[in-house]
Amino acid sequence: MRESVRAARSVASAAAPADLGAPVSLVLLRHGETPLTPQKRFSGSGGSDPGLSDVGRRQAERVAEALAGRGSVREIVSSPLARCRETAGIVGARLGLDVRIEDGLRETDFGAWEGLTFGEARERYPGDLNAWLGSPDAEPTGGGESFAAVAERVAAARDKLLAAHPGRTVLVVSHVTPIKTLVRLALGAPPESLFRMELSAASLSEVAYYADGNASLRLLNDQSHLG
């Protein structure tokens, strides 16, 4: 009987998952609206670097209030581009936190497409645009970044954050492509999934990363704080 109990305990112990501790939670905030956002123009790291519009600043203030209500954010990390730094600064002032800049979180360099609408880019560079839509290794016209290149630097920035902030909640203020890429990598989804996600200005998403290497998508494109 004792041997049976010991054997049962041994099996239960082997089957029980290890205590992974608290995950690193990356709260992913897309920057507030800029003058180019309503026009749906390519606005990456190779263009004019616009700041927030009046609407974008109001959005940043609303998300700051929402995050203050959560009370869980302990660090703020931002893309170096003006729209993100301004958004992060508004949130940081409300939360009493400094903002650290991480270059790997910047938006894609869209090359010659910077400032164009999708339709304008298709009209001027149809072959390049179709190639870019069809392959993660294709670059925008004029030496922009491929999705594969963006994914590589975003993953490196993610790994730095996970190593530096074990068990903590970090606000990451970034852009459409880096945030979608973090979500895609967390889900193990193919590159074409980037085109199947909606990500609005000043929206919140969240991914939790565990010590065993697994990740869990907790939130995507939440805009409830803007209503």
Catalytic residue among 31, 33, 86, 145: 31
Domain ranges of the chain: 21-110+147-226
Is residue 107 part of the annotated active site? The answer reads: yes
Task: Kindly report the length of the chain.
Answer: 227
Pick the catalytic residue: 102, 107, 114, 145?
Answer: 107
Q: What is the pLDDT of residues 138-183, one digit of tens each?
A: 999 998 999 999 999 999 999 999 999 999 999 999 999 999 999 9
pLDDT in tens, 6-46: 444 433 344 444 567 899 999 999 999 999 999 999 999 98
21-110+147-226 — its CATH code? 3.40.50.1240
What pLDDT sits at residue 47?
Answer: 84
22 neighbors 201 (Cβ within 8 angstroms): no
User: Which pLDDT score is estimated for 89?
Assistant: 98
165 noted as active-site residue? no
The per-residue DSSP string of 98-152 comes to: -EEE-GGGSPP--GGGTT-BHHHHHHH-HHHHHHHHH-TTPPPTTT---HHHHHH
CA angle 205, 102, 198 (to 5 degrees): 25
Least reliable range by pLDDT among 10-14, 25-29, 104-108, 123-127? 10-14
Average pLDDT of the chain? 92
pTM for the whole thing?
A: 0.90
Distance CA(112)–CA(7), nearest Å, equals: 67
